[in-house]
Amino acid sequence: MKILAFSANPVTWTRERAIGGAEIRYVSILSRWYKKGIEITAVEYESSASKRLCVEYPVHIIRIPKRIPLIVKFVVWIAGCIKFIVLNKKENFSLIYAPTNNVSDLIPSILAKIILKRPLVICVQNANPVYSFMRVLNLYGGRFFNRLLLTVGNLFSLAIERHGDLIIAISQVTKNTLVQLGLDESKIVVNGMGVEERLIEKFEQPLKKEYDAVFIGRVEKEKGIFDLLQAWKIVAEKRPTVKLLVIGDGSELEHAKRFVEENNISKNVIFTGSIYSEEKYDLLKKSKVMVYPTFSREGFCLSILDALSCGLPVITYNEYFTIDVYKKCKAVIFLKMKDIYSLIKTLSNFIELNETELNKYSKYAYNFIKDKTWSEVAKLELEYIINKILKCE
């Protein structure tokens, strides 16, 4: 079997250190397929997630000039992908794999399907209810032009998804939304995200906690970073020695740092920037509780799963998609959306938990994640591909 994959997260075109959960999923699955003897060819942007995460499978890099407008970068990316497809037309690829439903992944993937005449597998990370142009436009905040681009992208993504031969929905509610939008239910399967096997095999809850709370993810408004910082300001007023660890990068990182300085809580908040691999897990294990008050349509929210794999309880908002994925986990505490008062109260309570009480949540976390490894996710995804696509050829 030979798989051709296209991956270019537009976020990295302006913030090269950013790696999202969708990219981690993509790299984790392809790495395990490659180790099983499947031939992988990945076509990626210069800030390749595969290369940065030290994969072994071949990666073809399309270089894009940095000092050009985003829309021009997008055109250069698509042109580079078309050139690669045409030059490798004689390669006997078994299928095309789009790791996300971003248009930057979907457009080269659908073109490869047409030119190479091979089946297309699309992993849908999130599904917005794009019933009408105006309804989607009103989903987004910010400047009108940016909202317009996001809306057009969503509508265009949905149009391409209809031509996928197999759709991998990241959660059941994602599948339900796609079906409501008119996609063929028989083409859609559900397969989520996983954790590293070693974290489950050596699951532990260290006794020494250096941080009272941790946030890990992109530092963006919709991820709830400012809700957390507002709550932390109040917590720190009553408990001057508390420490919050913020792991991640994002467009609001400098704004978040300014908020911390202006509110005199610099000694209570530590920003690390983006951290991956073992150091990330070590820092999680040294924290008492993960706080992720996201009100974005996460799809799955790998950050929560990472925290659970390190034995942490998680405080988050009752966002529809997040509830669907984690409602059965007793270690995840859901709060009413944008309820800062409840966030302050719950944070204060968890900071005061002793070792025995924290270990109770650690057991809840382990019971939830113990069978959710990347190997199992990759195995199931491959079974879907073989049974629903390749056997039909």
Rg of the chain over all Cα atoms, to the nearest angstrom:
21
Q: How far apart are CA 230 and CA 317, in angstroms?
A: 15
* Residues 177 and 238 both lie in one domain: no
* Residues 247 and 106 both lie in one domain: no
* Residues 175 and 59 both lie in one domain: yes
* Residues 133 and 246 both lie in one domain: no
Buried b / exposed e across 113-151, counting CB within 10 Å, b at 16+? beebebbbbbbbbbbbebeeeeebeeebeeeeeebebbb
Nearest to 163 by CA among 201, 112, 198, 128: 112
* Residues 236 and 257 both lie in one domain: yes
* Residues 190 and 303 both lie in one domain: no
* Residues 95 and 60 both lie in one domain: yes
Report pTM.
0.87
Q: Work out how many domains the chain is built from and give that number.
A: 2
Flag residues of the chain having pLDDT under 50.
Answer: 131, 140-141
Q: What is the pLDDT of residue 131?
A: 47
Q: What is the pLDDT of residue 157?
A: 86
Residues paired with residue 316 on neighbouring β-strands, in sequence order: 292, 334
* Residues 12 and 155 both lie in one domain: yes
* Residues 253 and 342 both lie in one domain: yes
Q: How far apart are CA 45 and CA 64, in angstroms?
A: 7
* Residues 185 and 232 both lie in one domain: no
Task: Specify the CATH number for the domain of residue 360.
Answer: 3.40.50.2000
Q: What is the pLDDT of residue 147?
A: 59
Q: What is the pLDDT of residue 137?
A: 52
In this structure, what are the phi and psi dihedrals at residue 258, rounded to the nearest 5 degrees? -65, -40
Contacts of 275 (CB under 8 A, 6+ apart): 247, 283
* Residues 213 and 181 both lie in one domain: no
pLDDT in tens, 337-387: 999 999 999 999 999 998 889 999 999 999 999 999 999 999 999 999 999
Q: How far apart are CA 96 and CA 117, in angstroms?
A: 10
Q: What is the pLDDT of residue 204?
A: 67
* Residues 229 and 174 both lie in one domain: no
Nearest to 30 by CA among 45, 17, 41: 41
Nearest 5°: CA angle at 80, between 298 and 57? 65
Can you give the residue range of the structural domain that contains 362? Answer: 197-369
Q: What is the pairing mode between strands 120-124 and 39-45?
A: unpaired
